[in-house]
Amino acid sequence: MGIFAVFGTSANLKDPQVIEYMRQSPLPLSLQYAILAVGVMIMTISGLGILKGKNWARLLYAGWGLFSFLMSLAIGTMQTSMIPGLIFFLVIAYFLFRQDAHSYFSPPDNDGP
């Protein structure tokens, strides 16, 4: 998802209509760009950690996803366009936190023979 976020974000930032929506936000454009860059880095780092079975990575992904959704909801100008992203996030969060996933993200027992 981090790799897709890089391409999606860079494509969106070339769209004049997206830039206009961003200008309508109470946050300055420079701060919005910084938040986008941090978000892409977090998505990439958490994705790599998830592939390695690191519990902190799924918590980071879920925490950042929730934070960014709430922040977008509070200051965004296009709340209805966030619905597909929210559904996608909830589906991924479901699979990351269901019972079967807990064993993948748990450290192995070192109580060998």
Cα–Cα distance measured from residue 84 to residue 42, given in angstroms and rounded to the nearest whole number: 20
Average pLDDT across the chain, whole number: 83
| Its pTM surpasses 0.85 | no
Give percent above pLDDT 70 in the chain: 89
- pLDDT single digits (tens) 23-77: 887 888 888 888 888 988 999 999 999 999 999 999 999 999 999 888 888 876 6
Taking residues 67-89, what's their average pLDDT?
80
* pLDDT band at 109; cut points 50, 70, 90: low
pLDDT at 110: 53
Question: What token pair was written down for 70?
Answer: 């709430």
Question: Which structure tokens are listed for 10?
Answer: 């860079």
Report residue 91's pLDDT band, with 50, 70 and 90 as the boundaries: very high
pLDDT at 54: 95
Evaluate the CA torsion angle 56, 57, 63, 68 in order and state its sign.
Answer: positive
CA torsion through residues 40, 43, 49, 55, sign: positive
**Predicted pLDDT at 15:** 76
